[in-house]
Homo-oligomer: A and B are copies of this chain.
């Protein structure tokens, strides 16, 4: 018998992928413009022009043996340095190249961090709603996956619920703000309280709880905030998992990083653990050409204004049609209350209106659906009458 857990993971497509494949087939059947596919979080905005310009210039000007050669396992030192300086400038922190470990994207950032932290039997807590792969990644690292619900309706952190999910076995809490699937940005106040809570329970249980901040949507924030804080301002034992997939529209190129807070007392040990986990999982180094691209464009973003326009257009219309919607402050997802108790059955009925969105079950929220609005604005415009008709079908 080969490993049946991985066979099952490979056979059972996530419901998101399943829906996406349904959408592809349906588009072939009735025409692309007649299917309104909000299933996937795949950026619709191209990478900034500087990306392709950098690629061409690197190819023309660099020695190919170096450009396409191995870098050190944590990534090219100069690239890491530029990223650290960029973060320092934007967030008033004090990171350096040796805090940064370049990865093959957000998923790699998370699996490497989890494998660095977790001993078999430890617990990893995620806040509901959560990105479904957290469970896969945490369990593969040997952890027990534990969840804590967010506040009803606002989907801000519910500190009491989180408190009751903590135990002496808690090794890490994963947060994701801006959040996939809710689009919520956790408030400054709740981040302060979160930091205090983790400190208190680390002391109480004499067992350090780490905070893993999964931030692929960090740059996709649509409301002004009072400050631009960095997670380490709230809690020293924080590890940031980042990816350029969304901010630079490069999801297929697999480039991101882990940032370890150098103000954490055991920072060097954790960084070594990250290097070791990356090695054991088979990540040799992040793709070199894109390391060098990032060095040149890490302070740029794709034209994310389009996502804000999409959000406003869709949010205002859905509210007008009577939907109960959590107003997204970031990312490119909208979390909408199902018009019937079973979100799966709601999403099924939506298919009759050629609307494809994902039931919240996979995110741990059975009465909601996720609408990924990272689509062409025209798709939203054309979908609005369908959303209206869907709502009216319940009246």
Report A's interface with B, CB cutoff 8 A.
1-3, 5-11, 42-47, 51-52, 55-56, 59-60, 63-65, 67-71, 104-105, 107-112, 115-119, 133, 136-137, 139-140, 171, 210, 249-254, 266, 269-291
Q: Across the interface, name the chain B residue whose C-beta is closest to A139.
A: B280
Of the A-B pairs whose beta carbons lie under 8 Å apart in the complex, a sample of 6, sorted by A's number, is A2-B116, A3-B116, A6-B273, A10-B278, A52-B64, A281-B282
In the complex, are the beta carbons of B287 and A136 less than 8 A apart?
no
The 4 closest A-B pairs by CB, nearest first: A252-B288, A9-B276, A111-B282, A10-B276
For the complex formed by this chain, how many copies does it contain in all?
2
A332 CB, min distance to chain B CBs, angstroms: 14
A222 CB, min distance to chain B CBs, angstroms: 21
Q: Across the interface, name the chain B residue whose C-beta is closest to A118.
A: B3
Q: Across the interface, name the chain B residue whose C-beta is closest to A289.
A: B253
In the complex, are the beta carbons of A65 and B51 less than 8 A apart?
no
In the complex, are the beta carbons of A282 and B108 less than 8 A apart?
yes
In the bound complex, CA of A316 to CA of B171 (Å): 58
In the bound complex, CA of A45 to CA of B69 (Å): 10
In the complex, are the beta carbons of B70 and A42 less than 8 A apart?
yes
Check A273/B3 contact, CB under 8 A, given A65-B46, A281-B282, A287-B287.
yes
In the bound complex, CA of A57 to CA of B140 (Å): 40
Chain B residues with CB under 8 Å of A104's CB are: 104, 254, 282-284, 287
A155 CB, min distance to chain B CBs, angstroms: 25
